[in-house]
Structures are given as C-alpha cells and as structure tokens.
Amino acid sequence: HSNNRLRPQSITRVRVMAGILHTPCCSRSDLEVLLMDRFLEYLNHHPTLSLATAIVAIIAIAYELWQRQQNASGISLNQAIVLHNKGALILDVRTDAEFASGHIFEARHIVLDKLADSLDSIKKYREKTVIVCCESGARSGQAAKTLKAQGFQNVFNLNGGLAAWRQENLPLTSQTHNA
C-alpha cells in the first residue's frame, strides 16, 4: 500500500536534515537557525499542543516551587536521628490516639490545635533544635511555621512524617515521656 511509503517531501526533508547534521560545511549557527525555524514551524502548525505543553510546564514548575517552599525547613529521617541523638526536641503534633499508638522515643506531644496555647511548655527550646512531626508531614509543616513565627530559631519538619519513619522500620514506643 502507498500508506506505508514516505511522501517525496518527507524524504527530501529527512535527507536535508541528515545532510546538514553530518556535513562539516555548515556552521553551527546555520544549524541553530534551521532548528529554530523548524521549531517555530512546529509551533505554528500545532498551536493547541504547544499551548498545552506550555501550560503543563508552568504547572510543573509552580508545583516544584511550592513544594520547595513547603519543605524549606524539611529534614530527612537520617538527619533527624542525628539531631535527636545530639539533644534536639522531637515535637509530635498528632492527635492523642495517634500518639498513643506509637511515637518516637522521648518525643514531646502537643496536639496541633493546642500548640499556640502550649508554647510556654517548650519555650526553653527557642534557641535549640526542634524537629516537628506528624503522620505525613502536613500538620507538622503548619506547626513549624507557627513555631518560627513565635521566635523558635531552628525548627525542622520531619519529611514524610511518622509514615516514612515506619516505612524504614525505625523504632517507635508507646510509653509516655514527660520532659
């Protein structure tokens, strides 16, 4: 069938492109001009596809920037363990039931809704390192912002929260600790 054959125009374009790419007589600027012309021709012939691609790229960039802003003070599990071993406060902002089901050893528990009213109980940590955690990292992100706004200097959000902690099979305890 003739459907399987290339049109003569397509064969010519392929030969021209192959010739330009492999011919040493053409300068780099000529190749750049040709490629730019082809790109502009593509944009002209496919405006909807080009617009959709641009929109997806903008959304992807905006999402990445938003993620960086949200996790600007994020900390990995390994970094959290090192800082905890050096005396950092682990502040768990999950619900009472979540905390009772298991938490990081020596973690202080203040439910997110009560954090603003309970800052006096942790004020001695204003100049020290505080690692805030919740189940996924969302509530602890809010708590970290609250603590920073109240003058706490070194506040970090545990990336992935306790879900990531469990996934790595790191130890949890159900014993309460009063600091």
Determine contact, residues 73/156, Cβ cutoff 8 Å.
yes
Determine contact, residues 169/86, Cβ cutoff 8 Å.
no
Cα→Cα distances 33→9, 24, 26, 27, 48, Å:
20, 16, 11, 10, 24
> Could you give the residue numbers annotated as active site?
134
Interstrand relation of 154-158 and 108-109 (parallel, antiparallel or unpaired): unpaired
Interstrand relation of 129-133 and 89-92 (parallel, antiparallel or unpaired): parallel
Q: What is the pLDDT along the chain (179 residues), one digit of tens a residue?
A: 545 555 666 556 655 555 555 555 567 788 888 888 898 999 999 999 999 999 999 999 988 887 666 555 788 999 999 999 999 999 999 999 999 999 999 999 999 999 989 998 998 999 999 999 999 888 998 899 899 889 998 999 998 999 999 999 999 998 775 44
Nearest by Cα to 130 from 98, 164, 119, 175:
119
